[in-house]
Amino acid sequence: MKKVFESPKSLTKDPFTYCPGCHHGIAHRLVAEALDEFGVREKTIGVCPVGCSVFAYVFFDCDMICAAHGRAPAVATGIKRAKPDSIVFTYQGDGDLASIGTAEIVHTANRGENITVIFINNAIYGMTGGQMAPTTLVGQVTQTSPYGRDPKTMGYPIKVAEMLATLKGVAYISRVALSKPAYILKAKKAIRKAFQSQIEGKGFSLVEILSTCPTNWGLTPIEANKWLEENMIPYYPLGEFKTPEEVS
């Protein structure tokens, strides 16, 4: 019998511990598939953040390290500079990357560090139970914006992909979603391009992945996918924001 589907080698056999309907599992799988397809699993070092995906070190079957909150790009810089032949990626949420780690992500991108960043934007803090993230939408209710995010006092949601695409050292940036199969296929392509860009030594690459957090959004998984498409995508347009010709 022909085998038509199997678990990527770059994932361990440990079952995901993420909430039902959360997109971390899909994102993990896509990253693992890309590592498998490029044959780089054995020279990859991943950096996991503080947040729900702090447990990514359990699920990826490659060398892994956990950074302090927001500092994953700096840790990745240290690794890549010490072992330039390795493939280095960070996997960070929106609180980690777009709030406490803004200095690290901006300067790592600006130095053109040859690493790949997988940025999960689900518009909320997951691990701590649903507080406002820098990416929380205007009017969105969270534990710390109980009357909805008021831009007058809480600012507007940060568009990370657009912001970082202005930096010259950046090789590849795109924003994708995972709420339906067509989007997942596109996300896979973007993640492949990001790693390809690193393998070819082009410089900094980042894929922003719009994701759901049904638990803290207070929605079912299906409702969450719908909410993402109706509310997040209009504010966070999908597409490529920077592509070196050689990689596209």
Inter-CA distances, 231 with 152, 228, 239, Å = 20, 5, 16
Stretch that binds another protein, among 19-27, 58-66, 131-139, 236-244 (CB under 8 A): 58-66
**163 scored as a contact of another protein (CB under 8 A):** no
CB of residue 79 to another protein, shortest distance in Å? 4
The answer to whether the beta carbons of residues 91 and 49 sit under 8 Å apart is yes
**65 scored as a contact of another protein (CB under 8 A):** yes
Give the whole-angstrom CA distance, residue 77 versus residue 83. Answer: 10
**128 scored as a contact of another protein (CB under 8 A):** no
Q: Which is nearer to another protein, 68 or 154 (CB)?
A: 68
The answer to whether the beta carbons of residues 91 and 62 sit under 8 Å apart is no
Q: Which is nearer to another protein, 205 or 225 (CB)?
A: 205
DSSP SS3 for 240 = strand
**77 scored as a contact of another protein (CB under 8 A):** yes
CB of residue 70 to another protein, shortest distance in Å? 8
**41 scored as a contact of another protein (CB under 8 A):** yes
> Could you give phi then psi for residue 142, rounded to 5 degrees?
-135, 180
The two three-digit tokens of residue 241, written as one number: 């924001």
Q: What residues form DSSP beta bridges with 204?
A: 170
**111 scored as a contact of another protein (CB under 8 A):** yes
The answer to whether the beta carbons of residues 92 and 206 sit under 8 Å apart is no
Of the CA atoms within 13 Å of residue 110, those in its CB half-sphere come to 7
R_g of the chain computed on alpha carbons: 17
Residues in 79-98 that interact with another protein by CB under 8 A: 79-83, 86-87
Stretch that binds another protein, among 17-25, 68-76, 155-163, 239-247 (CB under 8 A): 68-76
CB of residue 167 to another protein, shortest distance in Å? 13
**9 scored as a contact of another protein (CB under 8 A):** no
> Among 36, 37, 43, 189, which residue interacts with another protein (rule: CB under 8 A)?
43
The answer to whether the beta carbons of residues 127 and 52 sit under 8 Å apart is yes
**61 scored as a contact of another protein (CB under 8 A):** yes
Q: What is the binding site for another protein (CB under 8 A)?
A: 41-45, 47-48, 54, 57, 60-68, 71, 74-83, 86-87, 103-104, 106-107, 111
